[in-house]
Amino acid sequence: MKLCLELLYHLHMKEKNNIIVEALPQYIEAQSSPKDERYVFAYTITITNKGLIPAKLISREWLITDSNGKIQEVSGKGVIGEQPYLKPGESFKYTSGAMIETPVAVMEGRYTMISDSGENFKAAIPKFTLSIPRTLH
C-alpha cells in the first residue's frame, strides 16, 4: 500500500510540475570563422508549462560538449535576463547563442523552476546538436 501511495504521489507531482523544453539550433555563418576554429550558433528555446500549476524559471545550467570532447558549463540566473513566469498552458520563447571551436557539438541542461506551491524542481533541456550544414559538391 505504501508503494502504491508513493507511486500516486510521484505521478501527481509529475502532472503538477511538467515543463516541456524544445530547442531549434541554427548555424550563423556570417559570425563564424572556421579557419580560426570559431563556429557560432543561435538556438531558439520554447519552454511550455504543461503542468497543473504556475511556475517561474529561476536559473539555468547548460553543458556544451564539442566534438573534441571539450565541455563548457554555463549557469546563471534566469534566461536572457528574464525569469519567466508560466501559467499552465503558457509558453516562453527566447533566442540565445553559443560559440564553439568545432563544427559540431551537443547541448543539454536543465532549468530550476519554482512552482506557486513553493516547490523547487528541475526541467530537463533535452540534448540537441549544433552542426554546420553539410554541403554536397
Question: Does 10 map to a domain?
Answer: no
Burial class (CB in 10 A: 0-12, 13-18, 19+), 9: exposed
Distance CA 78, CA 75 (A): 9
Residues in CB range of 5: below 8 A, 6 or more apart: none
Domains: count for the chain: 1
Residue 2: the pLDDT is: 53
pLDDT per position as a tens digit, 86-116: 999 999 999 999 999 999 999 999 999 999 9
Give the other-Cβ count within 10 Å of 39's Cβ. 24
Does 3 reside within a domain? no
State which residues form the domain around 58: 18-131
CATH of the domain at 74: 2.60.40.1470
Q: Which pTM was predicted? A: 0.85
Is 136 a member of any domain?
Answer: no
Best CA proximity match to 116, nearest among 59, 51, 20, 48:
51
